[in-house]
Amino acid sequence: MSVFVVEQVSRRFGRRSSRPVQALDRVDLAIEAGQRWGVVGESGSGKTTLLRLLAGLDRPSAGQIRFQDRPLDLADRSSLTRLRASVQLVFQDPQSSLDPRMRVGSIITEPLRSGPLRRSGQVPTDVKARLNEVLEAVGLPQAAARRYPHEFSGGQRQRIAIARALAPKPDILLADEPVSALDVSVRAQVLNLINDLVADMGLTLVMVSHDLTVVRHVCDHVAVLKAGRLVETGPVDQVYRRPASDYTAALLAAVPRLGDRWD
Amino acid sequence: MRRLSLIMGLALVGLVVAAAAVSLVWTPYDPNLVRPPDRLLGPSWSHWLGTDRMGIDLLSRLMVGSRTTLMVGVIAVCLAIVVGVPLGLVSGIRRGWLSQLLLRVSDIMFALPALLLAILLVAVRGASVATATWAIGIATVPVFVRMAHAATLSVMAQDFIDAARSCGTSSAAIALRHVLPNIAPIVGVQASASFSSAILAEAGLSYLGLAAPATTPTWGRMMRDGQVDLFLTAWPALAPGLAIAVAVLGFNLLGDGLRDQLDPRLREFR
Amino acid sequence: MSLLEVDHLNVWFDRGRSQVVRDLSFSIDPGQRLGLIGQSGSGKSVTALAIMGLLPESALMSGTVRFEGRRLSGAKEAELAQARGRDLTMVFQEPMTALDPTMKVGRQVAEVIRLHEESSGRETRRRVIEMLDRVGLPNPDRITDAFPHQLSGGQRQRVVLAMALMLGPRLVIADEPTTALDVTVQAQVLELLDVELAAHRAACLFISHDLAVVARVCQQVMVMLDGRVVESGPVRQVLSQPIHPYTRGLIATARLDLARPGSRLPTVEDFYAGGQL
């Protein structure tokens, strides 16, 4: 079953009078249940815009997104609730994605206390038990629930953000550069965590990154965006080994490698 | 340094509040007792701040006056917060034409001096402390609208708002759960600053005779009455002037100190 | 003689309650490039600020910093300002906040010249445009009249580099100069830094959390952990024969390209349990 079908989707920003920015230009993409997609490209390539469209935080200027074989209509309450109940997001900057004035426990359980999700009957009702479950799943102590985000390091904050995304038992996880704000030494921990969780819970994953090696490690499929256009899609292994476009090859070559100088 | 301004602010504001509280049960002299033989005395052990042209003890009158000062400040600022913050909050969350209109109106009001508004209101309702309070309160509303609007916009740009939206949290819940707590410190700081402007405004209006009648002791009114004898003695004008300065400085320092204390992220060096 | 000498540097925050840099000593020779590696909170950025004399007032510092034999630590602000921006420059991580949003790019670069040299307006503009061209900005005469927000992140970082290199510095301190950039722009900026440092024969203290980036630019490396240097030496040697378990962990986690897709990546904790992350 297709989870998302993106059909000829475009997104322009800015008014007609000033120069509009074409963030996405007629993009087609089909994401099947259980797949792990990576969306790569430079900054400004439209990859975050695509993710926001999938998350229902923004609507396309043209084209259509189908979610679970039905058109996604943000104006339609039931369509939106269906999306919200099964799709969760992890953001790039764990500094700004956690409300500094809320305790970690309330942050993580917020999706469980949201009205539409509770009424949909698809989210766990025992909030306390679920909190402890997800804290354990991301490797944080239960005592963390009583503390504030600023008391944690960047890597731990990203764990908190992941715990929040997992709390309502989503089927689909969207991640926007989940490790690019983290130290290289912490990156490995978070990637391990994402890999384990996606496998254990059988999640569909869409992960945006500018780093193809990160995508290769986590994803099985990749879509390469350049200036809003899709330049290449396919199984990640194939794209990684034999990139069809020069742009993809340049993206790959740009990743700094330890071996560059001393091998 | 930050701690210092909070402590200084609290001390000065505390002094004014204490004076107002004590005046409810005790003042050195009857603040309305006219004693012509004691007129225009300088500071002494029996009259710490001296007396005015009617022979009334200045300290007693200042203490009673502080009640009016605080009351005007509290009511005017509360009015401005209760009206201004929700308007700014809503206009920052829902960005439609109504919000735009609201912001334009508050911009126009912002450009209108409080004094003009007060004169208009006095013309309609007559001069009184209540009229002055209304005028100051209404004139302060746009300050809070604009401040709350700008603060809301910056909170709305944070990822945690999108995170909340993506799990179906309603706009109302976002406003109450995320935006309000995050803009609260800024509102608090603004309230403290606005409080000091309200005190100044009330003093100014009283000084012009647009607020308190002669029978009501307020600091501005006392300055007005004191200036008549400025060539004989400065005390009747200087004492209320100093009191105003202390209160204004106190609330400004308190505002600065609060801003640093209320933000959990500023408490430790990262 | 060493260009920069740091001797027994200690830095405390929080009225002396927390120590962020512990007994740090190192030197940089003219033209030498030294990488300073560590995770966030290890004290590497504080070290840079201490050298530049830019520590916040609340910080306490002991030890000496000498630049070209002159003492920088404890020097008067005017003396420091003389060296800063001319012989000793800094490139910050966040190019958006390093530039004044209200000032045109050209004026900001020109400011560096005006602060340190006599130069006519016309001459200054010519030199600014030449420098912007050198750091690879397209249409440099257009860019001088642009505001920072009209440029992309990579372009802004090039402007910051232009400012740092303008007066031919002897030492450039670069604090995570490419961390906010994506991989392709990062590669371009590193290449540029490499070429320009060589052209000016400038030395560099390069601070990063990414070993691969440091290995790209530097010959020498120091590994910092909890305010202490735990290992140092030539990059090649440290990478091939790391001694400290923490360094071994860092190297293992950095080799994402060698890991089998989907396999469990080695973490620093697998090698070194002492660091809390």
- Residue A89 with chain B: CB contacts under 8 Å: 162-163, 166
Whether residue C201 has pLDDT greater than 70: yes
Whole-angstrom Cα distance, residue C196 to residue C258? 31
Which residue's structure tokens are 């303008």?
Answer: C166
CB A223 within 8 A of CB A37: yes
CB C62 within 8 A of CB C36: no
- Residue B229: what pLDDT? 80
The residue of chain A with its CA nearest to that of C270 is A189
Helix and strand element counts for chain A (H, E): 11, 10
- Residue A243: what pLDDT? 93
Please state the pTM of the whole predicted model.
0.83
Q: Which residues contact B94 (CB under 8 A, 6 or more apart)?
A: B171
Taking CB atoms and an 8 Å cut-off, how many pairs form between chains A and C?
115
- Residue B268 with chain C: CB contacts under 8 Å: 14
- Residue B2: what pLDDT? 63
- Residue B1: what pLDDT? 58
**Is residue B38 assigned to a domain?**
no
- Residue B173 with chain A: CB contacts under 8 Å: 114-115
Mutate to test the interface with B, among A101, A118, A134 (most CBs of B within 10 A): A101
- Residue B269: what pLDDT? 37
CB A29 within 8 A of CB A223: yes
- Residue C277: what pLDDT? 40
User: pLDDT by residue (tens digit) across C206-260?
Assistant: 999 999 899 989 999 999 999 999 999 999 999 989 999 999 999 988 888 888 8
The residue of chain C with its CA nearest to that of A218 is C262
**Is residue B16 assigned to a domain?**
yes
Q: Is C157 exposed, middle or buried (0-12, 13-18, 19+ CB in 10 A)?
A: buried
User: pLDDT by residue (tens digit) across B73-131?
Assistant: 999 999 999 999 999 999 999 878 888 888 888 888 888 777 788 888 888 888 888 88
Summary mean pLDDT of chain C: 88
Q: What is the DSSP string of C175-188?
A: ESTTTTS-HHHHHH
Which residue's structure tokens are 């001459």?
Answer: C123
Q: pLDDT confidence of C276, banded at 50, 70, 90?
A: very low
Identify the domain containing residue B89 by its residue range. Answer: 2-24+57-262
Q: Which residue in A153, A184, A236 is closest to C210 by CB distance?
A: A184
Whole-angstrom Cα distance, residue B150 to residue B143? 11
- Residue A17: what pLDDT? 56
Q: pLDDT confidence of B270, banded at 50, 70, 90?
A: very low
User: pLDDT by residue (tens digit) across A105-145?
Assistant: 999 999 988 877 787 777 888 899 999 999 999 999 999 99
Q: pLDDT confidence of A16, banded at 50, 70, 90?
A: low
Q: Which residues contact C195 (CB under 8 A, 6 or more apart)?
A: none
**Is residue B44 assigned to a domain?**
no
**Cα-Cα-Cα-Cα dihedral sign, residues B182, B185, B190, B191:** positive
Q: Decide which of A233 and C184 is more confident.
A: A233
CB of A50 within 8 Å of a chain C CB? The answer is no
- Residue B264: what pLDDT? 52
B269/chain C closest Cα distance in angstroms: 8
Mean pLDDT across B182-202: 90
**Which residue blocks in chain C are alpha helix, DSSP H?**
44-52, 77-83, 95-98, 105-116, 121-134, 140-143, 153-165, 183-200, 211-217, 235-240, 245-254
Mean pLDDT across C124-146: 89
State the amino acid at position C195 in one-letter form.
V
CB of A216 within 8 Å of a chain C CB? The answer is yes
CB of B260 within 8 Å of a chain C CB? The answer is no
CB of B159 within 8 Å of a chain C CB? The answer is no
CA distances from B163 to A53, A66, A110, B54, B94 (A): 14, 22, 10, 67, 18
- Residue A56: what pLDDT? 92
Summary mean pLDDT of chain A: 90
User: pLDDT by residue (tens digit) across C147-161?
Assistant: 888 888 888 888 998
Which residue's structure tokens are 């860092």?
Answer: C250
**Is residue B32 assigned to a domain?**
no
Question: Torsion over CA of C37, C41, C42 and C45, rounded to 10 degrees?
Answer: 60
Residue contact A97–B159, C-beta within 8 A: yes
Residue contact B268–C56, C-beta within 8 A: no
Give me the interface pTM, i.e. the ipTM. 0.83
Lowest pLDDT segment from A51-65, B43-57, B178-192, C9-23: B43-57
Give the sheet arrangement for strand A204-209, strand by strand. A87-90, A172-176, A204-209, A36-40, A221-226, A229-235
The residue of chain C with its CA nearest to that of A198 is C262
Domains, in order of start, for chain C: 4-241 (3.40.50.300)
Whole-angstrom Cα distance, residue B52 to residue A115? 65
Mean pLDDT across B173-197: 91
- Residue C14 with chain B: CB contacts under 8 Å: 268-269
Q: pLDDT confidence of A15, banded at 50, 70, 90?
A: low
**Is residue B48 assigned to a domain?**
no
CATH number at B252 reads 1.10.3720.10
Q: Which residue in B162, B167, B181 is closest to A117 by CB distance?
A: B167
Q: pLDDT confidence of A232, banded at 50, 70, 90?
A: very high
- Of the candidates C216, C202, C274, the one whose C-alpha atom is nearest the C-alpha of residue C244 is C274
- Number of domains into which chain B is organized: 1
The token pair at C226 is 């909890």
- Residue A263: what pLDDT? 38
Q: Which residue in B165, B168, B178 is closest to A117 by CB distance?
A: B168
Q: Decide which of B69 and B31 is more confident.
A: B69
**Is residue B150 assigned to a domain?**
yes
CB of B268 within 8 Å of a chain C CB? The answer is yes
A116/chain C closest Cα distance in angstroms: 35
Whether residue C198 has pLDDT greater than 60: yes
Cross-strand bridge partners of residue A205:
A36, A173
- Residue A18: what pLDDT? 63
CB of A34 within 8 Å of a chain C CB? The answer is no
Q: How many CA atoms lie within 13 A of B263 on its CB side?
A: 14
CB of A249 within 8 Å of a chain C CB? The answer is no
Residue contact B167–A57, C-beta within 8 A: no
Q: Decide which of B50 and A192 is more confident.
A: A192
**Is residue B232 assigned to a domain?**
yes
Q: Which residue in C39, C190, C259 is closest to A183 by CB distance?
A: C39
CB A160 within 8 A of CB A107: yes
- Residue B207: what pLDDT? 85
Whether residue A157 has pLDDT greater than 60: yes
**Is residue B204 assigned to a domain?**
yes
User: pLDDT by residue (tens digit) across A252-262?
Assistant: 988 888 765 43
Whether residue A103 has pLDDT greater than 80: yes
Residue contact A153–C41, C-beta within 8 A: yes
